[in-house]
């Protein structure tokens, strides 16, 4: 899923400082699961902002709506009923995708309440880690299911580099060396021969480097 | 300021503090009438939103009473309550309300006198701090329109 | 001879090579580089010019290499894949060769988080092995990394790569070295050696695979000025092993600097006896003027004249 975390309250407050009434939009997708932008977090943020403005003597009116997802037009459409004239600003608690979907659909100023961090998963309650670099051309079959592109600090495809010591990456003693992990796993699976061949240059045009990407499936299009 | 009587909400775990409050009553122990007790099935059930709502609705101080560490009926509820309280304290600092208006205490069902002591101690603290800035700025916000998942 | 490199010539004649290292300055004046070159050129066969080492912005290694060349030295430009994509790397290779540079050392480079621009975006379009292959293909296949032909005037670099016998996993280090040699590395410079036992084990594995016959392996040494510096490298520099015994020797010495030089000279003399070691690379960081003393005391002076 997409992992996100809340922007600092002061930053969000600054983004809406001229608004008197805001619509806070939570998202029931990934950011609900990673406890950053679901219904509960939307409620908390609304309460924080209201009190902050109350203390400043400049009360803020809030409306809270949590959509099933902000990355599907069907759900984004459901916001239309709540968007009255007097709303000065929409605060989206979705990832960057949701923020943009709202901005594309509605003629209102939309600001993000979250920083979208990475594609990852929950390793323990309250701890999320990055796993996928979204490079557009998966090579996990070559590396024992461990992605060097996102888990190696240098994204090197022929690792490990000289900075790998005691299983850790040189950038941080808490960061495991992805190539040590790959090596250990391939060794355990008796597939170390996969590491003998030089991995050629990667085609980054499949990644973001090729420009904004699009997936089109003619078979599932409706018209 | 001397006439200020703070409004204080105490979220009390059913297994310890709520019984301790009972015991304090039976023992005829004096504690300030400023405390409004809310019974919780466990201190760990005290959601962040509830804590914030208490302040938003005009509380000058809020505290959470949970079982002694290691004694939670649900094993870890009181530890979780403590983490949440610490998080909300930071938020209150950021908002300008002040984290010292929120506290977490641990006690057992047998500690009636301690219950009364905490109530006195905390009321004194809030009395010194004065009214919550949320309330001081008058006009409690109308209940925020909360629209459920559409 | 694959190239017109002086370093290649000396190595291929079987001389025990000595290379040194110059860190380009954090300003736009080349005086220091020229001074160091003049001071060192009779004591070393080639000089490495680091490429923004530890990710700190410095005068470019190619420009520094040209200064070395003009001052009569033989430059080895280091080239990291941290800051340039395949377009910029190949462009700079063409440019460097046009300026007379004949040796390049291909590296991935220190991560930018170590340097003075930790907010920088890294590139890592290619890794060090892929860069070796790019340089080799430009030279031997006369084509760019995209496959397009380079019709004439291809850059003919003598290709270097790094090996770190002190990084992990140890068993894989020799295999990775072999991958680098297969990719096109002609010479190898190793990380600074302090743990001689581990290096001996590494070289035994190198000989088992005949790698010393496929590329020239130049062993890295580093004179240490003080026990504090040694301790720092032991604790804080990733991919380095500094045994306690060496630190103790420097700590107990009445003249730590002299002891540091003595240790380095001993190491060089020992390395000369290891089969497959083709030379030494003296990394005297911020202590370049000690290199002549070390070279003399190690019995490596005078250097062969071509």
pLDDT in tens, C263-277: 999 999 999 999 999
Q: What is the pLDDT of residues A178-193, one digit of tens each?
A: 999 999 999 999 999 9
Count of the separate structural domains present in chain C:
1
Residue of B nearest to A43 (CA): B49
Contact between chains at B149 and A82 (C-beta distance less than 8 A): no
Angstrom distance (rounded) from CA A173 to CA B130: 47
Residue A112 phi, psi (nearest 5): -85, 140
A47/B56 touch (CB, cutoff 8 Å), yes or no:
yes
Min distance A37 CA to chain C CA atoms (Å):
27
| Smallest Cα distance from B48 to chain A, Å | 7
Residue B138 lies in a domain: no
The answer to the question of residue B69 being in a domain is yes
B143 touches chain A (CB under 8 A): no
Dump pLDDT digits (tens) for C143-177. 999 999 999 999 999 999 999 999 999 999 999 99
CA distances from C176 to A158, A180, C179, C185 (A): 8, 13, 5, 12
Predicted confidence (pLDDT) at residue B139 exceeds the cutoff of 70: no
Average pLDDT over chain A, rounded to whole? 96
pLDDT of residue C175: 96
**pLDDT score of B140:** 44
Compare all CA atoms of chain A with the CA of B131 and give the residue at the minimum distance. Answer: A55
Which pLDDT tens digit goes with each residue over C91-111? 999 999 999 999 999 999 999
B136 part of a folded domain? no
Q: Helix or strand or coil: residue C161?
A: strand
Residue of A nearest to B148 (CA): A65
> What confidence score (pLDDT) does residue C238 get?
79
Q: What is the pLDDT of residue B48?
A: 96
In a domain, C262, yes or no: yes
C237: domain CATH number is 3.20.20.220
Comparing B137 with C114, which gets the higher pLDDT? C114
Q: Is residue C305 part of a domain?
A: no
Q: How many secondary structure helices (H) and strands (E) does chain B include?
A: 5, 5
Please report the residues numbered 38 through 57 in chain B whose beta carbons come closer than 8 angstroms to any beta carbon of chain A: 47-49, 52-53, 55-56
Q: What integer pLDDT is reported at residue C236 of this predicted model?
A: 85
The CATH number of A2-118, from 3.40.50.2300, 3.40.720.10, 3.30.70.100, 3.40.50.10860, is 3.40.50.2300
Q: To the nearest whole percent, how much of chain C has pLDDT over 70? A: 100
Residue B133 has pLDDT above 50, yes or no: yes
Among chain A residues, CA nearest to B142: A61
Q: Could you tell me if residue B147 is inside a domain?
A: no
Percent of chain A with pLDDT over 90: 99
Cα–Cα distances in angstroms (integers) from residue C16 to residues A82, C4, C13, C302, in the given order: 80, 19, 9, 12
Q: Is the pLDDT of residue A15 over 70?
A: yes
Nearest one of C132, C65, C56, C142 to C98, comparing CA atoms: C65
Give a yes or no: residue B148 inside a domain.
Answer: no
Contact yes or no for A195 and C239 at CB 8 A:
no
Arithmetic mean of pLDDT, B8-29: 95
Tell me the CB-side half-sphere exposure of residue A42, using CA atoms within 13 A. Answer: 30
B2 part of a folded domain: no
Strand stretches in A125-213, DSSP E: 127-132, 168-169, 172-176
Residue C287 inside a domain? The answer is yes
Helix (H, G, I), strand (E, B) or coil at A21: strand
Predicted confidence (pLDDT) per residue in C219-245, tens digit: 999 999 999 999 999 998 878 899 999
- Residue B142 domain flag: no
pLDDT of B142 over the 50 cut: no
C-beta atoms of A43 and B146 within 8 A = yes
Mean pLDDT of B67-80: 95
pLDDT at A223: 83
Q: Which chains touch B (3 or more CB pairs under 8 A)?
A: A
The predicted structure's pLDDT at residue B3: 81
User: Region C247-259: what's the mean pLDDT?
Assistant: 95
At C109 the pLDDT is 95
Is residue C235 a part of any domain in this protein?
A: yes
Confidence of residue B141 (pLDDT cuts 50, 70, 90): very low
* Torsion over CA: B67, B70, B76, B82 (sign): positive
Q: What is the pLDDT of residue B143?
A: 37
**Which pLDDT band holds residue B144 (cuts at 50, 70, 90)?**
very low
**Res. B2 pLDDT band, cuts 50 70 90:** low
| Domain residue limits at C46 | 6-297
Task: Look at residue C186 and tell me whether its pLDDT is greater than 80.
Answer: yes
pLDDT band per the 50, 70, 90 thresholds, residue A14: very high
Does B73 map to a domain? yes
The residue segments making up the domain with residue B96 are 8-130
Do the beta carbons of residue C103 and residue C160 sit within 8 Å? yes
| A172-176/C187-192 β-pairing | unpaired
In this predicted structure, the answer to whether residue B1 has a pLDDT above a threshold of 70 is: no
- Mean of pLDDT over chain C: 96
**What was the pLDDT predicted at B111?**
96
The reply to whether residue C114 touches residue A171, judged by beta carbons under 8 angstroms, is yes
Render pLDDT for A126-173 as a digit per residue (tens, 0 to 9): 999 999 999 999 999 999 999 999 999 999 999 999 999 999 999 999
Domain assignment of residue C304, yes or no: no
* For residue B148, pLDDT beyond 70: no
Number of domains making up chain B? 1
Residue B138 pLDDT more than 70? no
Q: d(Cα B64, Cα B46) in Å, to the nearest integer? A: 8
Sorted by where each begins, the domain ranges of chain A are 2-118, 133-210
Please tell me the predicted confidence (pLDDT) of residue C306: 80
Q: Which residues contact A114 (CB under 8 A, 6 or more apart)?
A: A4, A5, A6, A7, A31, A36, A37, A92, A93, A94, A95
Task: Give me the helices (H) in C157-210, please.
Answer: 170-183, 196-208
Q: What CATH number is given to the structural domain containing B64?
A: 3.40.50
For all residues of chain B together, what is the average pLDDT?
Answer: 90
Which region, left, alpha or beta, applies to residue A32 given φ > 0 means left and ψ of -120 to 50 means alpha? alpha
């Amino acid at each position: 899923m997409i992992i996100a975390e809340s922007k600092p309250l002061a930053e969000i407050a600054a983004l809406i400082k001229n608004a008197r009434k805001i619509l806070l939009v939570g998202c029931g997708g990934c950011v609900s699961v990673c406890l950053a932008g679901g219904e509960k977090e939307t409620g908390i943020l609304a309460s924080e902002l209201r009190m902050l403005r109350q203390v400043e003597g400049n009360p803020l009116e809030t409306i809270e709506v949590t959509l099933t997802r902000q990355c599907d037009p069907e759900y984004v459409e459901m916001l239309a009923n709540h968007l009255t004239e007097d709303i000065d600003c929409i605060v989206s608690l979705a990832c960057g995708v949701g923020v943009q979907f709202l901005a594309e659909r509605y003629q209102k100023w939309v600001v993000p309440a979250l920083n979208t961090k990475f594609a990852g998963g929950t390793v323990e309650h309250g701890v999320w880690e990055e796993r996928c670099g979204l490079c557009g051309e998966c090579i996990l079959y070559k590396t024992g299911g461990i992605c060097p592109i996102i888990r190696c600090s240098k994204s090197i495809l022929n690792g490990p580099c000289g900075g790998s010591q005691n299983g850790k990456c040189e950038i941080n003693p808490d960061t495991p060396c992805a190539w040590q992990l790959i090596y250990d796993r391939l060794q355990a699976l008796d597939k170390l021969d996969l590491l003998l061949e030089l991995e050629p240059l990667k085609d980054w045009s499949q990644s973001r480097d090729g420009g904004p990407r699009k997936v089109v499936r003619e078979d599932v299009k409706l018209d | 300021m001397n006439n200020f009587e703070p409004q204080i909400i105490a979220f009390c775990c059913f297994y310890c503090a709520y019984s301790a409050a009972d015991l304090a009553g039976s023992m005829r122990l004096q504690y300030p009438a400023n405390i409004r007790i809310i019974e919780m099935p466990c201190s760990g059930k005290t959601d962040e939103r509830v804590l914030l709502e208490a302040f938003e609705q005009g509380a000058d101080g809020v505290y959470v009473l949970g079982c002694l560490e290691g004694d939670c009926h649900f094993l870890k509820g009181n530890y979780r309550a403590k983490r949440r309280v610490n998080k909300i304290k930071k938020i209150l600092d950021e908002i300008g309300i002040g984290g010292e208006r929120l506290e977490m205490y641990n006690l057992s069902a047998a500690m009636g006198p301690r219950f009364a002591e905490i109530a006195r101690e905390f009321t004194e603290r809030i009395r010194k701090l004065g009214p919550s800035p949320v309330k001081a700025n008058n006009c409690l916000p109308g209940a925020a329109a909360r629209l459920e998942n559409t | 001879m694959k190239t017109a490199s002086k370093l290649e010539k000396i190595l291929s004649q079987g001389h025990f090579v000595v290379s040194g290292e110059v860190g380009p300055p954090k300003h736009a004046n080349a005086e220091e580089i020229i001074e160091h070159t003049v001071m060192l050129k009779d004591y070393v066969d080639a000089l490495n010019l680091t490429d923004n080492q530890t990710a700190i912005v410095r005068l470019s290694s190619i420009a520094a290499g040209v200064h070395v060349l003009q001052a009569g030295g033989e430059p080895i430009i280091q080239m990291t894949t941290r800051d340039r994509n395949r377009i910029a790397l190949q462009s700079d290779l063409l440019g460097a060769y046009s300026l007379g540079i004949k040796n390049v050392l291909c590296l991935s480079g220190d991560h930018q988080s170590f340097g003075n621009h930790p907010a920088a975006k890294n590139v890592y379009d290619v890794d060090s092995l892929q860069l070796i292959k790019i340089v080799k293909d430009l030279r031997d296949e006369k084509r760019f990394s995209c496959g397009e032909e380079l019709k004439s005037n291809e850059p003919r670099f003598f290709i270097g790569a790094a090996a770190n016998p002190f990084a992990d996993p140890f068993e894989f280090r020799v295999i990775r070295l072999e991958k680098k040699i297969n990719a096109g590395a002609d010479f190898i410079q190793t990380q600074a050696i302090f743990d001689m036992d581990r290096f001996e084990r590494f070289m035994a594995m190198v000989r088992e695979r005949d790698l010393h016959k496929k590329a020239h392996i130049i062993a890295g040494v580093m004179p240490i000025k003080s026990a504090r510096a040694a301790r720092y490298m032991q604790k804080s520099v990733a991919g380095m092993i500094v045994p306690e015994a060496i630190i103790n020797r420097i700590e107990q010495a009445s003249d730590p600097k002299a002891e540091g030089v003595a240790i380095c000279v001993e190491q060089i003399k020992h390395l000369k006896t290891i089969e497959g070691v083709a030379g030494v690379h003296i990394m005297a960081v911020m202590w370049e003027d000690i290199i002549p003393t070390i070279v003399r005391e190690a019995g490596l002076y005078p250097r062969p004249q071509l």
